[in-house]
Structures are given as C-alpha cells and as structure tokens.
Amino acid sequence: MRKNTVKATLQAGGTVANGWVGIPSSYSAELIGHAGFDSVTVDLQHGLIGFDQALPMLQALSSTPAIPLVRVPGNDGPEIMHLLDAGAYGVICPMISTPEQAASFVSACRYPPEGDRSFGPARGFLYGGKDYYTHANEEILTIGMIETQEALDNLDAILAVDGLDGVYIGPNDLSLNLGHAPSSEPTAEPVVKAIAHILARTLAHGKIPGIFCSNGVAARARLEQGFRMVTPGNEAGILSAAAAQAVAQIRSESTESSTQTSGY
Ligand code: 3PY
Ligand code: MG
C-alpha cells in the first residue's frame, strides 16, 4: 500500500503543512495540491462540497504530491467509510466531545477486528494499491476535532482512545462554545488557555496536536508554539485575500486590511 507520508512524518515527530479546500472544484484542489502542502483536506463540513464533488477532488489530489484527507460533516460511520472508499487517506472528524464518540469515529476508519469499517475500497485500491486491505488500518490517519467545553472536560479520556492519532482544534467553534465570538486567532483569555491546555495534554499522551489557523504567518506561530499539523486557512480565504490585494494595488490603496484572512 502507498505509504501515508503525512502519518509517518507526524509519528516521527515532524510537522505537517495541511492545505484546506472548500470550493467544489477539482481544478482548485489540484492547484492547492501542487502548492507544496504535505496534505490537503477536502472540507465536507463547511466547504461547499458534497460526496459527488469530493470524489473528483480526491482524484485530482491523487495526481499531486499532497496526501488527500477529508473533513467529514459529522461523526457518521457510513459517510466516513464512503469517503475512505473514495480514496481519502485520513479523516478529520468535527465535534468529538466524548471518548465514546472518539471510539466510534476510529472504529469507522478501521477494518475488523479493530473496528467496524465495511469492505469495498473502490478508489482505496487504485490510490493505495492492491494490498490496501492489509495495511489500511495502519496507514489511515484519524484526527478528532476538539471544539467544545464537553471535549475539554473529557480531554484525557478522548486522548486515551486507542487508534485516535491526534486532535485538531477548531478555534472558531471552541471560542463559541466557551462563550466568545468565533475567531480563527482567539485572543480571549479562556480560549487562549484552553488551546495551550489541549496542546500540552495531547503531547503528554504522545498524540498529534493540530490546529486550524487564519494564514501562513499564524500557522508558523502555532508550529513554534508546539503544534505539529497546521492549516493556513482555506483556499477560499487565500483566494479572496489575494484578489483584494491585487485590486488594492491597482488602486494604490493600503493592502493591510485586505490581506487579512480568516476562515473556518
Ligand atoms: C473551527 O474553527 O471551528 C473549525 O472547525 C475550523 O475549520
Ligand atoms: Mg469547527
């Protein structure tokens, strides 16, 4: 089976730059896949993408050096299995708030006896190779999103779930759930503290800490803080910021505000 180089890098203690695509286009997925990211996540939660559009996007990503990942809309076993069959090499699952939810998510990503994934890896065979079935349980990356107070309350139990490779912070939802306005770069003290706490506990459990960020500079700062998997916003944010900057340059306006990105 084709090696999941992102999982190998993370397990060896390395860092990963993860692109994020929400525009339902195989061409833009291909562009982002060629931009130098280690992995690219097709976002079926907040991106405007359904399964029928995710499939050609995963095919386009397969022609690039980036490892294709998906963020699923929710913790739904059949949907997770379908996207793995479509060739996703890892799954980011939103709103994991209890160890039971984490265990059910991991189970959907693992063939028996480790889980309850059903067999039929249509594109898994094509992208992964003929021996996909033998190695899929080791190669598929499982990342649960921590973005609620309940997840904070259950953090150690979630991190102790066998087969969960890491956690990914959704700073917008985490802010909202802690009583603050959504933000990709939270500054409210309780949210800042919660993010530092999640990072420390994840590292203590020997798991991968990841976080969604608003741009490349912010993502770099998160790596320096100790996060190992970072996303510099989605391609829609990057595109609109670059477009606004070009317009501002034409009009000789300050580009300071127009180059700010945020995202979800
Ligand atoms: C969040 O910030 O809540 C996210 O889910 C980022 O994608
Ligand atoms: Mg979220």
pLDDT above 60 for 258: no
* 46 given a catalytic annotation: yes
Tell me how far apart the alpha carbons of residues 227 and 69 are, in angstroms, rounded to a whole number: 18
pLDDT in tens, 211-248: 999 999 999 999 999 999 999 999 999 999 999 999 99
pTM of the model: 0.96
Residues written for the chain: 264
- How many angstroms separate the Cα of 83 from the Cα of each of 65, 78, 207, 213? 19, 9, 24, 24
Alpha helix segments (H runs only) across the chain = 5-11, 26-33, 51-62, 77-85, 99-108, 122-123, 132-139, 149-153, 155-159, 171-177, 189-204, 216-225, 235-250
pLDDT in tens, 156-203: 999 999 999 999 999 999 999 999 999 999 999 999 999 999 999 999
3-state secondary structure (DSSP) of residue 19: strand
> Which ligand places an atom closest to the C-alpha of 170?
1
pLDDT in tens, 7-43: 999 999 999 999 999 999 999 999 999 999 999 999 9
Q: Give me the domains of the chain, ranges plus CATH numbers.
A: 5-233 (3.20.20.60)
Please tell me the residue having the least CA distance from ligand 1 atom 7: 264
Tell me how far apart the alpha carbons of residues 30 and 47 are, in angstroms, rounded to a whole number: 16
Q: Ligand 1: distance of its center to the CA of 17 in Å?
A: 16
